[in-house]
Structure 1
Amino acid sequence: MGEFEEFAEALFGQLSVEINEEKEIMQLAINAREDIARKVEFKELEEIANEIFPDFKDKVQDFLGVKVADDLQLKFPELEDLKRLKGDKVFADPESKEFVKKLFNAVAKEDLKIIAELMKENTAKYLVYSTYAIQYISKITTTYGDYLDSVIYLNKFILSRYPQIILHKQGEPYESRFENVNSGYLGAVKMTVLEELIHSAQGNLHQINKNAAMEVNRINEELA
């Protein structure tokens, strides 16, 4: 194994706890879905979010006194797409943006070969942006929502699985325990939509922070 491949393995070594947790969540959700099927049923995440979105949008506008963008959308990414999205959130200049996109895509696919090739291609960029991959991706299982470029992203990987897993862990009878778990599920979706609507209304501040972060990352590339 070459030096670059070893560094690629080291990257996944730092993410091993998160990757194992993601796999465990997937398996727990499969088991839960099979066991509670035909006994109780949770509403789809998309249905809940789209139902509350217009009303919550109006409430945020009234409360903040700031107009929320008319073209604001909701999207519901699964795990791989969430990891790619985290790459889009890295504030890189145009010259580095494509590198970041490739890096996060390779991490999402757990592709050691591509990661090693990217490090060989530009070690300085890799050293700067692999830290973002570790930092951002390690938070996926604890982050319910995100906002970027007029789109609110709801973490379907977590939000659509946790209610089933929680109910399954509580055990039978599912019917009598459903209402309490479902209430928590609905509350989590509502709070996430509300939080990201507020983030979306802070567009000017976001752009200022973005420009500053891009400049810091450019300097870090030169120093690496």
Structure 2
Amino acid sequence: MILHRRILSILAVAAGLVALWWATLVAFEIPPYLMPSPGSVFAAFWTDGWTLIVMAWTTVSSTVVGLLVAALCAAAMAVVFVQSHLVAQAAMPLLIVIRSTPVAAIAPLMMLMLGRGMGTSVFVVVLVSFFPILINVMRGLRSADAQSLELLRVYGASRWQMICMLRAPYALPYLFTGLRIAGGTAILGALLSEWITGNRGLGLLILDSAEMREIDVLWAAIIVSVIIALSLFALTSAAERAVLHWKT
């Protein structure tokens, strides 16, 4: 019943957006070469559907692999930083410098090192996703109950045992929060990498469609990108509910 309500809500929102789309075209008399009609975009989904699927699969693959690598690396580094304040103080300024460097400046360098394939896209996704996951996991590890930590120390628990038994469960909600935040930026990172490197994917399809003035295909690719980002957010939220429900 709840699932049916959610599906109906999604369909209602989609119908409202399409109606707003039509109303905007009519009210402001926007020419088709700037904003096509919903009908022409839906036709592009039909005629270029296979191309959209292939390109979307490449972008999704880079995004998912990059997010997983970023999550693993960020979680491991967060554990090290929480256990050693000296290491955290030494490494954090370097991480901030890397995070502050524009991705558009790093991506061409990575393209020279890794080539135009999936590796560059994955690296860019890791770069833009790593920091929010790291910060959130560190907050989660440090949020463990102080009295429980002291009790484990009294019973002679090692640092690794305290992480596994206490700190990690506290960090799980923060990990999923970091993944939700990083999901949207991960899609943008994958698209940006495809724009810069020319690697196939939705980013390249958007760029080529703009150059060829295929505005309906351009908008279809943008809509697919938005759907992917929303799907990542929804899947992360569903995984969080499943894991935390199991934990409790």
The structure with the largest alpha-carbon Rg is 2
Greater fraction helix: 2
* TM-score for both structures, normalised by structure 1: 0.25
Q: Which has the higher contact order (CA 8 A, sep 6+)?
A: 1
